[in-house]
Amino acid sequence: MRVPVATRVAFAVATVAAGTLMLGGCSQSPAERLEEWYSSGGEAQIRKLNEDAGRVNEVSMRTIDVQGPACQDLLAQTTKAEKLDPIPDEAAQRYWKEALGGFRRGAGECADGAAKKEEAQVARGITAVQTEGLPKLVNTVSMIKAGLAAAK
């Protein structure tokens, strides 16, 4: 049995329309998307980055054999954070990328310097973590908190 072309076209149009309605009905507000990002791994990732960067800051006046592993941990955590979906808030995402870049540069330089026993390179790396990464992470958290507060 052949189905008339008009019936097939009507069915196709109805199917597309239903799919569009289903997708449209599931749209989230920017605040809801931010909340979802934050609660589905964002918060934990921020917390871990803050802990690892704080540890690098904490060991800044210690010896290379303590500084190197702290920088390696931060570098590994930065790699994990870079794999997260982008933050669904443009300003927060910009600060997030800058924070991750600062952590990557600083922790990378520190870890490399520790492997070569180059104290000056380790110190430059730690300084980058402190001045490029941590302040931008603070800005990221501020932007996220403001976005989440606006949703309430």
pLDDT one-digit tens code per residue, 89-148 = 999 999 999 999 999 999 999 999 999 999 999 999 999 999 999 999 999 999 999 999
pLDDT attached to residue 26: 59
CATH at residue 103: 1.20.120
Q: Give the residue among 69, 79, 88, 94 at the shortest CA–CA distance from 49.
A: 79
- Give 39-97 pLDDT, tens digit per residue: 999 999 999 999 999 999 999 999 999 999 999 999 999 999 999 999 999 999 999 99
With respect to residue 17, please indicate whether it lies within any of the assigned structural domains.
no
With respect to residue 87, please indicate whether it lies within any of the assigned structural domains.
yes
pLDDT attached to residue 31: 87
Q: Give the residue among 3, 99, 96, 113 at the shortest CA–CA distance from 60.
A: 113
**Number of domains comprising the chain:** 1
pLDDT band at 29 (very low <50, low <70, confident <90, very high): confident
Q: Please state the pTM of the whole predicted model.
A: 0.80
